[in-house]
Amino acid sequence: MTAVTAPAPRREPRPLRAFFVSLAISAGLLGVLLVADGRVMELRKAKAEVRELDRRIAEEQKENARLTSAIEAANKEEFPAEKVAREELNLVHPEDVVLLYPEGSLSPERPAAASGSTPAKKAGPKIPSPSPAATTGVH
């Protein structure tokens, strides 16, 4: 007599395992396509270039605003350097008329201030004092 063997039990399909295997294969293929495709790298380079150009545009706009304000100040003759030159350094513009008075003719000389007691006053514009003849009424 021959021994009868029972048929092997049928394996049930494993859908979860099949899903993960196909997901891994798909991800691998997608990665290879993305790396191999030069357009993705070109897109990255283009985006980096756009960011750099946006940064340069912002810098140029700041420079443009600075230059525009300098032009407006020049049109109004409000240069800070010119103001300092006129008021603090007592310089004049070539087109200005300069009146020279003899030393001490406009106001009496003040004695030198004591060291450290009071700060020296800033020299302002000199205003001519009236002549003695004008104050006494003698002509």
Does residue 26 form part of some domain?
Answer: no
Terminal CA-to-CA distance of the chain, rounded, Å?
Answer: 166
Domain residues for the domain of 83 are 32-92
Does residue 38 form part of some domain?
Answer: yes
Q: pLDDT digits over 78-106, tens only?
A: 667 777 777 788 888 888 888 888 887 87
Q: Model's pTM, two decimal places?
A: 0.36
Does residue 59 form part of some domain?
Answer: yes
Does residue 52 form part of some domain?
Answer: yes
How many domains, in total, are found in the chain?
1
Does residue 120 form part of some domain?
Answer: no
Please check the confidence at residue 115 and state whether its pLDDT lies above 80.
Answer: no
Please check the confidence at residue 133 and state whether its pLDDT lies above 70.
Answer: no
Does residue 61 form part of some domain?
Answer: yes
Does residue 115 form part of some domain?
Answer: no
Does residue 88 form part of some domain?
Answer: yes
What is the pLDDT averaged over residues 46-51?
97
